[in-house]
Chain A
Amino acid sequence: MSSNAFNALRRTPRWSRATAATVLWLLLWWLLAATAAVPYLPSPLAQAENLIGNSPAYLLAAGATLVRAVIGFAIGAALGILLPIVLGYWSATRYVLDALADLTRTIPGIALLPIFLLWFGTGDGTAVALVAAATSFIVIVVSASSIRNVDPIYLRAASALGGAGLQGYLLVVTPAMLPGVLGGLRVALAAALPWAIAGEYLGAQNGLGYILWNSLQSVNLRQMISVAIVASLIVALLDLAMRAGGARVTAWAQTAEGR
């Protein structure tokens, strides 16, 4: 492409370039479907029809998965924040916290799925427990690193002002670790839905994972793509909500940094 063409491309508004790129990808999709280059792939139009036509069923399934994801996330987040706060109090147990974070970072959460299946059967419990375990692993790692990064000068200042011991620790460390922990909670919340779906493949009677697994058995690629689109949209919405909420809660930290 000549430099004139490059300059012309750069001058076009960003939204029109993004639209053109999206249209090109849709054209490629249509071409792949029309030539049957990808087995079972429907055309974009047939896909849209499936998504819109069955949207009540998808929304119902998404609701079930979302409930499991949110309950599991709440349990995982509470565990992932409280355990590091307790272990971070004494300097000796801070090493234990680091070892625990190192271990949880590498645990493949999916290996726990058969144990939860055995304990909770094919109800809500399996997916909830899997989400709780996987999200707590993420939050423990981030909380441990946030506690490690709290500047000791804050603790010394609190101690000088009479806030020594556990009270001073909680008053200083809890808010100081918040900006870091919120980043981890965002990652954990985005991971909660995929983990709930993984839990539903073998351990549920409804939900997005259940539909996805059944669609595979009946070779219904349209339904599989629709579920993937719905799941992506929910993850994007959860991330947006978490960003908005996080920005409000940590506004003080940004103000302090700006000073």
Chain B
Amino acid sequence: MRGMPEWIKQALAWIVVVGAIVATWIILDLTGAVSSDRLPPLTDVISAAGREAEDLPIAVLATAGRVAAGFVIGAVVGVFIALLSHLSTVASELLAPPIHLLRSFPPFVVAPFIILWFGLSVQAPIVFAATVTAFVVVIDSGEALRVVRREYPQAAQALGAGHVSRAMLIDTPAIIPAIAGGLRVALVGAVNAVLLYEMLTGTEGVGDLLIRGYQLFRIDTLFFAVIVAILLSLLLDRILVLLLNRATHWSRG
């Protein structure tokens, strides 16, 4: 292993992890340790993939679109609320009680409220994902803003920057490296929110594929849908990491 480039070691580690999962699956199946109505043979899952291939792109795109829209809206709203609370004394005092409440508010509890108020509308899962994202981003951004170096905003204000330009040009870029981890957590939260909404309401998407597999006792479809959900979440995370790396390259200088 010594002398091997870091990226090869990481790629090998990924192969080992995925290989271990697949090997365990095959062993459990072949030895009959777990019955096939609880753990389908891998070949059945591959057949399910072929069966669902026609509808899958639409389901994946629907879920990914909802997650992306909800995440972007939630992140922007979250940063905006944190900035407002940071820059204005009155807003800070006014927003303190709901922000304090958010720290212990369980995000999944929001689901029934969204279904009650937004029903099966297009915006319902997006609002849910945005709410879950904003919960995380408001708290993380608030904490990041507290440790932004004071010289930057002071220098900007000395050069004539107003509140809006300071927020847009100094505070927001300054907190992105600090909230990058929180944004990744929020993205998985948004995926969970959209999947839960689709499962509870039967709205077309990966969540619906999951719950259909359960309701129709199609365990092969169910396991295939779980793999799709994990791959979708991984893909969205990689895209976010790529974008964050671009946005924060200056901070690693």
Contact = CB atoms under 8 A, between A and B. Distances in A.
Residues of B in contact with A, size category? 35 or more
A230 B115 CA distance: 20
B116 A216 contact: yes
B213 A114 contact: yes
A60 interface: no
Given A17-B93, A21-B96, A110 B104 contact: no
A33 interface: no
Interface of A: 1, 6, 9-10, 17-18, 20-22, 24-25, 38-40, 91-92, 95-96, 98-100, 102-103, 105-115, 117-119, 190, 193-195, 197-198, 201-202, 209, 212-213, 215-216, 219, 221, 224, 227-228, 231-233, 235-236, 239
Given A1-B90, A106-B234, A197-B108, A111 B229 contact: yes
A195 B225 contact: no
Contacts of B107: 194
Given A95-B9, A95-B10, A9 B90 contact: yes
B14 interface: yes
Nearest to A215: B112
The listed residue with most B CB atoms (<10 A of its CB), out of A22, A106, A224, is: A106
A91 B140 CA distance: 33
B142 to A, nearest CB: 16
Contacts of A224: 112-113, 116
B199 to A, nearest CB: 7
Interface in B109-145: 109, 111-113, 115-117
Contacts, number: 148
Given A18-B97, A115-B223, A201-B200, A110 B195 contact: yes
A96 B97 CA distance: 43
Interface string B179-212: 0000010001001100110011000001000110
A108 B233 CA distance: 7
B187 to A, nearest CB: 8
Contact of B237 (A106, A113, A209): A106
A167 to B, nearest CB: 24
B192 A109 contact: yes
Given A98-B10, A212-B109, A219-B116, 8 more contacts: A38-B117, A99-B16, A106-B233, A108-B191, A110-B199, A198-B111, A212-B112, A216-B115
Contacts of B225: 111, 114
19 contacts: A10-B89, A18-B97, A22-B97, A100-B17, A103-B17, A103-B234, A105-B184, A107-B233, A110-B196, A111-B225, A112-B226, A113-B210, A114-B226, A118-B38, A202-B199, A228-B105, A232-B105, A232-B109, A236-B103
Interface of B: 1, 9-10, 12-14, 16-17, 38, 89-90, 93-94, 96-98, 101, 103-109, 111-113, 115-117, 184, 188, 191-192, 195-196, 199-200, 206, 210-211, 213-214, 217, 219, 222-223, 225-226, 229-230, 233-234, 237
Given A95-B10, A106-B233, A110-B195, A235 B97 contact: no
| Most-contacted residue by chain A among B10, B38, B97, B101 (CB, 10 A) | B97
Contacts of B101: 232
Contact of B210 (A9, A111, A212, A228): A111
B16 A96 contact: yes
Contacts of B17: 96, 99-100, 103
Contacts of A194: 106-109
A35 B40 CA distance: 55
A24 B94 contact: yes
